[in-house]
Chain A
Amino acid sequence: MASLGHIVQRIRAWEGIGLLLVFIALYVVLSFASPVFLTTSNQLSILQNAAFFGIVAFAMTLVIVSGEIDISVGSMAALSSSLLGVLIVKQGWPMPLALLAVFVVAGLIGASAGALRAYFGVPTFIATLALYLALKGLAQLLTNNFPLPIDSGEFFYWGDGRVLGIPVPALYLSAVFLILLVVTKKTVFGRSVYAVGGNAKAANLSGINVHRVKILVMAIVALTAALTGLLQTALLSSGNSTIAVGLEFDAIAAVIIGGTALSGGKGSIVGTVIGVLFIAALLNGMVLLGVNPYAQQVVRGGVVLVAVLVNVWRTRRTALV
């Protein structure tokens, strides 16, 4: 009885290692192909770039594990940046208050998408598709589609500086990773996310507040999108409605490459961190090798398709056991 379980366990463990092996292979190939790739400065820049979609990817893992999706994160980041610009440049708000306002707005919008899902049964794909357009439009409306330059040295430091030589965005990436890792492994909420995504009916009968879980995961991913928007704002030193285009793609792609089941209930933040680093290294490598930008897009799309196929094939196989 136990031996069967153990075999399955071993196959699963091996598949996790499979992703790691592919990742290492990518590193080996790129380090031979480009002399610059393995240098410290390039590796740090990979980490910095990873932050701009990785932070969202970690929260997106929760969303997808709970059986939902959020495709509005890019527009949410653009709105956050624009809102900050408007509040500081046009309204003259102090920085801390403006930051707080941005997070509150983002959290509320995310929570409403979750509430629409929980109480009215609106699929999150549709609700966030609507938000994708609406938030983008709102950002452009606020800024008239012009960048609003923000003058704040301190703010730039916390978004674009370096601590002990490490880019600050990379630190945010690590912090969000650690926090969500602990949340998914050690908290009632985190485990409830898996229960809801795996079997919502059973979770409900067991007394888990399914509505609350759905609202919270959608609010959390919106907050990480706002954080991403603010980091971009610091990088560009302006409130900007044109940032974070395609953020949803890279974030969801990282989650899928990390092995999280699109059907919900299964997945891990650790898998996602490998997915994030994989995409970041791949993008960086393609730039170093001078790959045509259009061809880069084809490669990114292809990688996601392959990852989904592997994922589906894996679920089928375990379903047969």
Chain B
Amino acid sequence: MDDTPVLACQSLEKSFGAIHALAGVDFSLRRGEVRALLGKNGAGKSTLVNVISGSVKPDSGTLTLNGREVHWDSPGAARAGGISVVHQEFSLVPGLSVAENVTMGRWPSRGLGFIKGDELQSRAKAALDLLGVHLPTWELVGNLSIAEQQLVEIAKALVDEPDVLILDEPTSALNASEVDTLLALVRRLAATGVAVIYVSHRMKEIPQIADRMTIMRDGREVATLGIDEASPERVAALIAGEATSVADAEYRDRSGAPSVLSVRGLAVDGVLDDVSFDLREGEVLGIAGFLGSGRTELLEAIFGLRRDVRGQVSVGGVPVRRRSPRAMLARKVAMTSEDRKHAGIVPALGVGENIVLTARTRVLPGQWLRRGRERSLQAETMRQLSVRASSADQEVGTLSGGNQQKAVIGRALAADMNVLLLDEPTRGIDVHAKTQIYALIRDLAEQGVASVFVSSELEELSLVCDRVIVLRSGKNREELIGSDASAERVLALAMKEVD
């Protein structure tokens, strides 16, 4: 490994509105090095990756590749310049062959646009050989397994012979043996001189693959450690940072209260493995876990959005068979999706109408709308949630993320629900709105409404939850009560190696 940096970033800064995503980041990478990049949500990892790979322009600071300062206009320019990214979402075309996908956009052709089939095959083969994998180049990508598709994705990034390869959570969709194959392959690549940035939080993989790790927090690089000096406890502490100044939720022991939602042995092949818990009246139960731990799938399984679920869910002691959203709502259990834009709000309807969608025919009477009743319910809910809108008629799509989220929670509230399943309710909203939402959930709990609060921002769990369950590889592993659920504890448990 030679010591001259192939890539160097100096005091990179980037703001999105009021959010300072990068606050002066220095980062450098040596040829043939594998560097793990860690940090919680919003620490600035993705922004750094996006700046390096040309999809986001920095406000200030410089980027130096192979000793020369570079300014990317587009991801294409960065690719041509020697930086390739493998994103979490697949960018493959299922109806094209492996070879065509690997070389997409660079298909060699002669006159009249005829593809030089042999050259296309050999280029793809070269990239696959570099990876050291054997895949049939003529096979349609749609016929491959997820793990094989991931390999195609990486081969696609290698076609331009990059100096720097960025892998963003490359193992989140893979099983254990596939992960081993991938790690071996990344090591092999690094041995050929490619520098690899490996974005991950899986503490099990990182020592096997990385030479060093960089930890980011609040838009800064807080530490770069050799892999042997990085104990999980130290890393967890660095990721979490100092304890937040906001007061933790006052712990209320609800273990004596009646169970409103009881989950027994919930399982989905490859995703959830025997999850059981009881949610008590007026309790706020946190579910902690990283991407791929099965958080969202758990809520979907409870709410009847999946058909491949085994196990039992009871509401108020009565088992619910053939679960569906309508069946669950009828039992006063509501869910809000993490995907607020696509599965939460109806953007073109007014905020008031968004709020009463569930309440109609449930709390509000019959099939004919009663304007007065609707209006007063809308006004009451908006007041209770302190939604900031010019009127109930303002299109919800034009509101801020925080107010949109309030409208989504308000929908459950207006329909007089007893149990809320909240998937990442504070994603993408500002700090002020977050504290309002925490307070709201606590208030509702005082009134007896129980919530399951799923979050990947682990430090917020202790602010709002009475109890936290740590989910790892689809299983509920540990339970932390009240103030035990500090961000650091939760983080260390969530990252713990598979037992």
Q: Check B105–A191 contact: CB distance below 8 A.
A: no
Q: Check B105–A266 contact: CB distance below 8 A.
A: no
Q: Check B96–A191 contact: CB distance below 8 A.
A: yes
Q: Does A40 contact B (CB under 8 A)?
A: no
Q: How far is the CA of A190 from the CA of B117 in the complex (A)?
A: 13
Size category of the B interface is 20 to 34
Which segment of A14-22, A130-138, A193-201 sits at the interface?
Answer: A193-201
Looking at chain A's contact residues, the main secondary structure is helix
Residue of B nearest to A209 (CB): B105
Q: Does B256 contact A (CB under 8 A)?
A: no
Give A316 Cβ to nearest chain B Cβ, in Å.
Answer: 11
Q: How far is the CA of A20 from the CA of B113 in the complex (A)?
A: 32
Q: How far is the CA of A191 from the CA of B92 in the complex (A)?
A: 13
Residue-wise, chain B 129-150 has the 8 Å CB interface mask toward A (1 for contact) of 0000000100110111101100
Given contacts A186-B117, A187-B115, contact A198 B96 (CB under 8 A): yes
Q: Does A205 contact B (CB under 8 A)?
A: yes
Q: Check B107–A188 contact: CB distance below 8 A.
A: yes
Q: Check B93–A202 contact: CB distance below 8 A.
A: yes
Q: How far is the CA of A202 from the CA of B76 in the complex (A)?
A: 12
Contacts of B95 on A, CB cut-off 8 Å? 65, 194, 197-198, 261, 265-267
Residue-wise, chain B 160-181 has the 8 Å CB interface mask toward A (1 for contact) of 0000000000000000001000
Given contacts A9-B143, A318-B142, contact A205 B76 (CB under 8 A): yes
Given contacts A9-B143, A186-B117, A187-B112, contact A206 B105 (CB under 8 A): yes
Residues 153-204 (chain A) with a chain B CB within 8 angstroms: 186-189, 191, 194-195, 197-199, 201-203
- Count of A interface residues, CB-CB < 8 Å: 30
Q: Check A189–B96 contact: CB distance below 8 A.
A: no
Q: Check A266–B106 contact: CB distance below 8 A.
A: no
Give A196 Cβ to nearest chain B Cβ, in Å.
Answer: 9
Q: Does A104 contact B (CB under 8 A)?
A: no
Residue-wise, chain A 2-17 has the 8 Å CB interface mask toward B (1 for contact) of 1011001100100000
Q: Check A12–B106 contact: CB distance below 8 A.
A: no
Given contacts A5-B139, A207-B76, contact A187 B114 (CB under 8 A): yes
Q: How far is the CA of A8 from the CA of B136 in the complex (A)?
A: 14
Q: Check A195–B96 contact: CB distance below 8 A.
A: yes
Q: Does A208 contact B (CB under 8 A)?
A: yes
Q: Which of B95, B113, B147 has the most CB of A within 10 A?
A: B95
Contacts of A191 on B, CB cut-off 8 Å? 96, 100, 107, 115
Q: How far is the CA of A195 from the CA of B143 in the complex (A)?
A: 16
Contacts of B115 on A, CB cut-off 8 Å? 186-188, 191
Contact of B145 among A1, A186, A198 (CB under 8 A): A1
Q: Check A207–B105 contact: CB distance below 8 A.
A: yes
Residue of B nearest to A6 (CB): B143
Contacts of B96 on A, CB cut-off 8 Å? 191, 194-195, 198
**A interface residues (Cβ-Cβ under 8 A, vs B):** 1-2, 4-5, 8-9, 12, 65, 186-189, 191, 194-195, 197-199, 201-203, 205-208, 261, 265-267, 318
**What are 12 A-B interface contacts by the 8 Å CB criterion?**
A5-B143, A186-B114, A187-B113, A188-B109, A191-B107, A194-B93, A194-B96, A197-B95, A203-B104, A206-B91, A206-B105, A206-B106
Which 6 residue pairs are nearest across A and B when measured between Cβ atoms?
A: A206-B105, A198-B93, A207-B105, A202-B91, A266-B95, A206-B104
